[in-house]
Amino acid sequence: MHTRPILERSAPWRPVGRIEDLEFLVKESEVLTGRSGRRFVIASADRLYYQVHWRSPALVIERVDQRGAVCDRQFLLPWEFEHHPLAQAMDSRQLFATAIGADA
């Protein structure tokens, strides 16, 4: 499996406040890059990174390590998402989308 390393760049992160924002940001990245999904970060002390793919009606959420390798993968329906750490980070205003191209 090809993995993309996580590169810390000075490009700004975009805050994610609602599941609709998450959907838009994933689809925006897919249209602009031609690649599936988008990388998100929980801006906590641990800086947890996730790759999110929108496969209607489900979300595919992959926890990725610093090298970009998938550590865990979950398939969630929108009403199941509220219990995921990404939803909790969104509620705490700690979820951000990385800049498009920053995870290339």
User: E strand or H helix at 42, and its extent?
Assistant: strand 38-42
Predicted local confidence at residue 30, as pLDDT: 93
pLDDT digits (tens, 9 = 90+) for 42-98: 998 788 999 999 888 889 999 999 888 999 999 999 889 889 999 999 999 999 999
- Rounded CA gap, 70 and 50, in Å? 9
| DSSP one-letter string for 44-55 | STT-EEEEEEEE
Average confidence (pLDDT) over 7-15? 70
Q: Is 40:47 a contact under the CB 8 Å cutoff?
A: no
pLDDT, residue 44, reads: 85
Q: What is the pTM of this model?
A: 0.81
